[in-house]
Amino acid sequence: MIRIILPFIALVFGLWAWNLPAAPGAASSWAVYDQSLLLSGLLSIALMSLAMMLALRPAWLERPLGGLDQIYRSHKWAGILAVVFAAAHWLIEMGDDVIESIFGEAGKLHDPDYSGFIDAMRDVAEDVGEFAIYLLFAMLLITLWRKFPYKYWRYLHRVMPALYLLLAFHAAWLTPLQWWQQPVGMLMAVLLLSGSIASGLSLAGRVGRRRQVRGTVTGVKTPARYVTEVTCDLGPAWRGHRAGQFALVTFNTMEGAHPFTIASADQENGTVTFLIKSLGDFTRDLSHKIRVGQTVKIEGPYGCFDFNRRNRKSHQIWIAGGIGVTPFLAWLEALGTNKTTVPEADLHYCTRNAGQDPMVARLQQLCQDFPGINLQIHDSSKGESLSAEKLSTGGPSTAGEEVWFCGPAGLGRVIQQGLRAAPFRLTRFHKEAFQFR
């Protein structure tokens, strides 16, 4: 989020401030009111435009932003901040009577006189904006309400592009005319045009279409309780993937796409495998909901959880929790095809019950050919838990520790916070953020 949203807000604020000396009214109370109204509205529609553009899943932004998961995280926070500034804009607009009761009408700035058509359109834009902002507040509340079913939420979320177009109409007609001759107006024009194009593509169902491949489910297994292993044949249309990447998988059109890490290395034959844990309504008893031979739609690959991007001067610490072992399984499979790239690393696997977890044996089998990879199993049924203090710091490198984490978000936060306070140098903590909603 910091990589794009904060610099973006700084840019919008800077261009607004650039235009400030030309604003009428100097530093009067009504001028402060008007500029606060304009700034809050500008930030809201700018962030909403950014959110719409990020929703297109632009693959070219993956590397600079750290993967599609980080793009969607930025999309989410851009949307939340857009609603926050929209609420501020609405409250300021509703507060004009309070300002008038305190300071009177002296110095109040009046809108210029427009022709009948422009004046009528501005009235329509005000009404449309007020209606749209109420819908925007409702959408935010539903989005933050975790108990609201995803399969229904995703349909509501699909109306956001239409809602954006209403707010873009409101912003375009109510932006001061003098702004269009200033840098802030040029930025507004670019954002409104880009956001409108993104909204049109989204409403037309064009998002991610070029990266979508249809295939067939060729295998369904249940290697462990609450875990389903699904193998899919995508044929030559699949362009391949890097170990550690994920894909958006659609088994059921009504349910929509879900992100799952690809648990297999690329074999250049169009075959991909997913290990899917029962975490929600759809993934619960997944093996009974899908069958061999059915059609599957897969979009991707996405993500930058790629061991080839590791810092070769840093000691590697790989941490997997539960189903978060999937990218590391793919890493180890990929290493087996090219042993010249095998790094030295400590691989920590956290499991609830090692004796009943088939992934333990699978990891042990994959690691036995790589003496440089030190596998450590942490079995919570035996009171064994992983913490920052327990992580090995005796790596061969003095350039610091690089941690790659995939697992429960709570465990990741605890370990990351503990490592920041640890006596050794942490060069990087890389983790995926799969909570797209």
Q: Per residue of the chain (437 residues), what is the pLDDT tens digit?
A: 567 999 999 999 999 998 876 665 555 677 788 889 999 999 999 999 999 999 999 988 888 888 898 898 999 999 999 999 999 999 998 877 666 666 566 556 566 666 777 888 888 998 999 899 999 999 888 888 877 877 788 888 889 999 999 999 999 999 988 889 899 999 999 999 999 999 999 999 899 999 999 999 999 999 888 899 999 999 999 999 999 999 999 998 888 888 999 999 998 999 999 999 887 777 888 888 999 999 999 999 999 888 778 777 888 899 999 899 999 999 998 887 665 567 788 999 999 999 889 999 999 999 988 888 999 999 998 888 888 877 755 444 445 788 999 998 888 888 888 887 766 666 788 888 766 66
- Tell me the three state secondary structure of residue 137: helix
Alpha carbon distance 103, 255 (integer Å): 55
Q: How far is CA 94 from CA 97, 98, 159, 279, 282, in A?
A: 7, 8, 27, 43, 44
Distance of CA 176 to the CA centre of its chain: 34
Q: To which residue do tokens 């180890």 refer?
A: 332
Phi/psi of residue 58, nearest 5 degrees: -70, 110
pTM for the model = 0.87
Strand order in 227-233's β-sheet? Answer: 258-261, 246-250, 295-302, 212-224, 227-233, 271-277
Give me the residues paired with residue 297 across strands: 214, 250
**Contacts of residue 295, Cβ cutoff 8 Å, sequence gap at least 6:** 214, 215, 216, 217
DSSP letter, residue 312? T
Residue 23: what pLDDT?
Answer: 65
Q: Which helix (H) or strand (E) covers residue 276, if one does?
A: strand 271-277
Q: What is the pLDDT of residue 340?
A: 56
* Backbone angle region of 432, left / alpha / beta, with phi > 0 → left and psi within -120 to 50 → alpha: beta
- Tally of residues, the chain: 437
Type of residue found at 35: Q
- CB half-sphere exposure, 200, CA atoms < 13 A: 7
Angle formed by the axes of helices 116-144 and 68-94, to 10°?
Answer: 120
Nearest to 46 by CA among 158, 190, 147: 190
Q: Can you name the CATH fold of 209-302? A: Elongation Factor Tu (Ef-tu); domain 3 (2.40.30)
Q: Which two tokens stand for residue 433?
A: 């953020």
The label of the residue with tokens 């249809």 reads 214
Q: What is the CATH number of domain 307-431?
A: 3.40.50.80
d(CA 395, CA 345): 8
